[in-house]
A = this chain, B = another copy of it.
Amino acid sequence: MKRLNDLLERIIQRVNINLREPLFDVGPYVRDLVPLNQLTKFYAFYGITPYHPLNFHFTRSNLAGSYFLGKCQVSDSILYKSDIRGDELKRKGDIFQCEGFDIPLHEDETIRIKDSYLIKTLVHNNSHDPENLEDFIIQNTVSTHYANIHGSEVEGCYMGPFSTVDLTTLHDCVIGEFAYLQVSELAHHQVPAGTIWISGGDQFEFRYQHDPENLKNYIRFEPGTRPQGIFIDFVENRKDDFRRVFDVVNLETPSSIPSGASLNRYAVIKPKTQIGQNVLVAQRAYIENSWMGNGANAQENCYIIDSRLSGNNVTAHGAKIIGAELGEKVFVGFNSFLQGSKEFALRIGENSIIMPHTIIDLTEPVDIDASYLVWGYIRKQSDVEENSMALSELASITGQHSRSRMHFKGNGDSFVKGFQHRIEHILEANGAYFDGTGKKGHAQSSQNISYNLIQPYPEGDFKGLYPTIDIQH
């Protein structure tokens, strides 16, 4: 185990040298966060299909529990149950369009993770950095429980639990718990816990700041402890359900699934769940007693419980939906926590957008109208007004607009259109619009994956480290 311990210290040093400005020591946060023994208990796996170009290279790393699909290289890193995929990597010859430039890729894009420690962090690779199209890089970075690195290159960063960096190139930044960033590029910043910050260049900016004291009930993380709060309890309570799906090599697919739908064999599907046409349930998603209407998708680490999703719903990475009824095409953003119940039902009308990192935790029944944007923190019906706005009203804004802890400036129409466009992209990419032959997406091309299971050395100095593994077509 000596080598694994050395590796952890080397990673801490690499991150800290990046974080001289803002001055931040990641050591106390991560040194005892996961017992090293734990890192030897889980297997990692990679998927093989005819649709995803293949090139895995793993060296001097621990990969416990992580999932790889498509081209990926990992060196000198610890990936603890990190949900890496690689199914939206760009390919040689693809044209990337950016501000009038048409940039052709001269080789297949590859995920490259180096000198990093990612703990239960989702890495999704639909990257948008026009400066570095072939390499999707995560380097000298520590990220903690249930953070999302989403289409974002990240170098020299610390990411707190349940934080998200989305379509943003990040250098030498500290991202607080449950902060959400979508700002294209950011360097040498310390982002407070609970900040929601979206910037569309000179087009618009959206900001929300969760109340720090209240947020601590949901998620808090002090150096030398483990992350705590309602979010952590929620996830920990459902851990055992995942054990079975990881214990078995090849699970039988339930036969009653419509042909265009796909339930990842590493997802938990509990009774009584209904799966519609073209539904996509990603790995480590958890569905219980819910109705998944046609084209609905459940992304990695999301939970859908006692709920009805009418169809074409996007439930983004890490979102939780409990006791809710969602109309058609309701979008629920990253790591949002929507908790209704039988007694206090949550109803959200069609085409509404729940912003990433929204908390709706009901103490009475709440109805939200169709075509609304929803953010912030909602416990009762009277909170809705302060934390939402009709999309049509938002689209009409030019200039500045504040509502309680939310501040918007710029062109509302461009913000709304951009968001709706992105939702359409997700539905298309996930195969929600598959018509039996055309418009295939992940739901259809992920139906038949060969999973390969890899494990570290079981004993000795190298215990917990994986051998060097190279997989090519």
Instruction: Check B247–A50 contact: CB distance below 8 A.
Output: no
Q: Does A235 contact B (CB under 8 A)?
A: no
Give every chain B residue within 8 A of A454 (Cβ-Cβ).
452-453
Looking at A271-279, A353-361, A430-438, A455-463, the stretch in contact with chain B turns out to be: A455-463
A370 to chain B, nearest CB (A): 41
A62 to chain B, nearest CB (A): 12
Instruction: Check A48–B471 contact: CB distance below 8 A.
Output: no
Q: Does A117 contact B (CB under 8 A)?
A: no
Instruction: Check A452–B450 contact: CB distance below 8 A.
Output: no
Instruction: Check A54–B467 contact: CB distance below 8 A.
Output: yes
Give every chain B residue within 8 A of A453 (Cβ-Cβ).
249, 451-454
Given A249-B247, A450-B457, A469 and B467 contact (CB-CB distance below 8 Å): no
Give every chain B residue within 8 A of A450 (Cβ-Cβ).
455-458
Give every chain B residue within 8 A of A458 (Cβ-Cβ).
48-50, 448-450
Instruction: Check B249–A250 contact: CB distance below 8 A.
Output: no
Give every chain B residue within 8 A of A247 (Cβ-Cβ).
248-250
A446 to chain B, nearest CB (A): 11
Instruction: Check A457–B249 contact: CB distance below 8 A.
Output: no
Instruction: Check B48–A457 contact: CB distance below 8 A.
Output: yes
Q: Does A43 contact B (CB under 8 A)?
A: yes
Instruction: Check B469–A469 contact: CB distance below 8 A.
Output: yes
Within 8 A of B (CB), among A9-41: none
Give every chain B residue within 8 A of A470 (Cβ-Cβ).
468-472
Instruction: Check A473–B468 contact: CB distance below 8 A.
Output: yes
Instruction: Check B249–A50 contact: CB distance below 8 A.
Output: no
Given A247-B250, A454-B452, A456-B450, A468 and B472 contact (CB-CB distance below 8 Å): yes
How many angstroms from the CA of A453 to the CA of B249 in the assembled complex?
Answer: 9
Given A452-B455, A458-B48, A469 and B468 contact (CB-CB distance below 8 Å): no
Q: Chain A's interface: helix, strand, loop or mixed, by majority?
A: loop
A329 to chain B, nearest CB (A): 31
How many angstroms from the CA of A109 to the CA of B451 in the assembled complex?
Answer: 30
A286 to chain B, nearest CB (A): 20
Q: Does A246 contact B (CB under 8 A)?
A: yes
Instruction: Check A455–B43 contact: CB distance below 8 A.
Output: no
How many angstroms from the CA of A278 to the CA of B461 in the assembled complex?
Answer: 26
Contact with B along A32-69 (1 / 0, CB 8 A): 00000000000100001110001000000000000000
Give every chain B residue within 8 A of A463 (Cβ-Cβ).
50
How many angstroms from the CA of A458 to the CA of B49 in the assembled complex?
Answer: 6
A430 to chain B, nearest CB (A): 19
Give every chain B residue within 8 A of A455 (Cβ-Cβ).
48, 450-452
How many angstroms from the CA of A468 to the CA of B473 in the assembled complex?
Answer: 6
Give every chain B residue within 8 A of A49 (Cβ-Cβ).
457-459
Given A248-B248, A250-B247, A462 and B50 contact (CB-CB distance below 8 Å): yes
A3 to chain B, nearest CB (A): 11
Given A467-B471, A467-B472, A457 and B248 contact (CB-CB distance below 8 Å): no
Give every chain B residue within 8 A of A54 (Cβ-Cβ).
467
How many angstroms from the CA of A43 to the CA of B250 in the assembled complex?
Answer: 10
A252 to chain B, nearest CB (A): 10
Give every chain B residue within 8 A of A468 (Cβ-Cβ).
470-473
A469 to chain B, nearest CB (A): 5
Give every chain B residue within 8 A of A457 (Cβ-Cβ).
48-50, 450
Give every chain B residue within 8 A of A456 (Cβ-Cβ).
48, 450
A37 to chain B, nearest CB (A): 14
Instruction: Check A48–B467 contact: CB distance below 8 A.
Output: yes
A156 to chain B, nearest CB (A): 29
Smallest CB gap from A460: residue in B? B50
A131 to chain B, nearest CB (A): 31
Chain A residues within 8 Å of B, Cβ to Cβ: 43, 48-50, 54, 246-250, 448-463, 467-473
Q: Would you list 24 pairs from A and B whose C-beta atoms are within 8 A, ordered by A residue?
A: A43-B452, A48-B457, A48-B467, A49-B459, A50-B460, A50-B461, A50-B463, A54-B467, A247-B249, A249-B453, A450-B455, A450-B456, A450-B457, A451-B453, A452-B455, A462-B473, A467-B471, A467-B472, A468-B470, A468-B472, A468-B473, A470-B470, A470-B471, A470-B472
Given contacts A453-B453, A470-B472, 12 further A-B contacts (CB under 8 A): A49-B459, A50-B461, A50-B462, A448-B458, A450-B456, A452-B453, A452-B455, A453-B454, A467-B473, A468-B471, A468-B472, A469-B471
The 8 closest A-B pairs by CB, nearest first: A50-B460, A450-B455, A453-B453, A470-B470, A468-B472, A448-B458, A452-B454, A450-B458
